[in-house]
Amino acid sequence: MATDSTESTDVPGLTDAAGVPPSTDATGGVPELRVLRQDEWDKWYDTLIRAFGGVPESAEERETWNSLTESERSLGAWDGDTCVGTAGAFTFRMTVPGGASVPAAGVTMVGVAATHRRRGVLTSLMRRQLEDVRSWGEPLAVLTASEPAIYGRFGYGAAAFQLNAEIDTSRVRLSVPDGTDDVRLRYAPPADVLDACEAVYARLVPGRPGMLERRPGWERVALLDPESDRDGASPLQCVVAERGGQTVGYARFRVKPGWDVSGHNGTVVLRDLAALDPAADAALWRFLFGIDLTTTLVVRGRPVDDAWQYMVSDIRRCLPRVRDALYVRLVDVGAALEARTYQAPVDVVLEVEDSFCPWNAGRWRLTGDAKGATCVRTSDAADLALSVRELGAAYLGGVSLASLEAAGRVREMRAGASAEAAVGFGSPVAAWLPHGF
Ligand SMILES: CC(=O)SCCNC(=O)CCNC(=O)[C@H](O)C(C)(C)COP(=O)(O)OP(=O)(O)OC[C@H]1O[C@@H](n2cnc3c(N)ncnc32)[C@H](O)[C@@H]1OP(=O)(O)O
For residue 10, pLDDT beyond 70? no
Does residue 51 have its Cβ closer than 6 Å to ligand 1? yes
Packing angle, helices 59-68 and 41-51, rounded to 10: 120
Q: How many angstroms does the Cα of residue 118 sit away from the middle of ligand 1? A: 7
Task: List pLDDT tens digits, range 88-129.
Answer: 999 999 999 999 999 999 999 999 999 999 999 999 999 999
Pocket probe for ligand 1: among 90, 112, 389, the residue whose CB has the most ligand atoms within 8 Å is 112
110 CA: nearest ligand 1 atom: 3
Contacts of 146 (CB under 8 A, 6+ apart): 52, 110
Name the band, by pLDDT with cuts 50, 70 and 90, for residue 29. low
111 CA: nearest ligand 1 atom: 14
For residue 9, pLDDT beyond 50? no
Smallest CA separation from ligand 1 atom 51, residue: 118
- How many CA atoms does the CB half-sphere of 378 hold within 13 Å? 19
- Single-letter code of the amino acid located at 4: D
Q: Strand 82-95 vs strand 75-79: parallel, antiparallel, or unpaired?
A: antiparallel
pLDDT given for residue 21 in this prediction: 42
For residue 145, pLDDT beyond 60? yes
Q: What is the set of active-site residues?
A: 151, 437
Average pLDDT over residues 244-269: 97
Task: List pLDDT tens digits, range 334-364.
Answer: 999 999 999 999 999 999 999 999 999 999 9
Does residue 256 have its Cβ closer than 6 Å to ligand 1? no
Mean pLDDT, the chain, rounded, equals 93
For residue 13, pLDDT beyond 60? no
* Structural domains of the chain ordered from first start: 11-138 (3.40.630.30), 174-311 (3.40.630.30), 333-425 (3.30.1050.10)
Task: List pLDDT tens digits, range 364-389.
Answer: 999 999 999 999 999 999 999 999 99
For the chain, the C-alpha Rg in angstroms (whole number) is 23
Does residue 330 have its Cβ closer than 6 Å to ligand 1? no
For 25-34, 221-230, 263-272, 325-334, which range has the lowest pLDDT when averaged over its residues?
25-34
Name the band, by pLDDT with cuts 50, 70 and 90, for residue 288. very high
Q: Is 270 annotated as a binding residue?
A: no
Does residue 119 have its Cβ closer than 6 Å to ligand 1? yes
For residue 18, pLDDT beyond 80? no
Task: List pLDDT tens digits, range 181-203.
Answer: 999 999 999 999 999 999 999 99
Torsion of CA 66, 324, 128, 377, to 10 degrees: 130
Name the band, by pLDDT with cuts 50, 70 and 90, for residue 17. very low
User: Which of 382, 346, 347 has its CA nearest to residue 363?
Assistant: 382
Does residue 299 have its Cβ closer than 6 Å to ligand 1? no
H helix count then E strand count, the chain: 10, 19
pLDDT given for residue 30 in this prediction: 81
Measured in residues, the chain has a length of 437
Pocket probe for ligand 1: among 92, 115, 117, the residue whose CB has the most ligand atoms within 8 Å is 117
pLDDT given for residue 11 in this prediction: 27
Burial 70-84 (b: 16+ CB within 10 A, else e): ebebbbbbbbeebbb
For residue 219, pLDDT beyond 60? yes
Task: Give first-to-last CA distance, the chain, whole Å.
Answer: 30
Tell me how far apart the alpha carbons of residues 72 and 88 are, in angstroms, rounded to a whole number.
Answer: 9
Q: Is 147 annotated as a binding residue?
A: yes
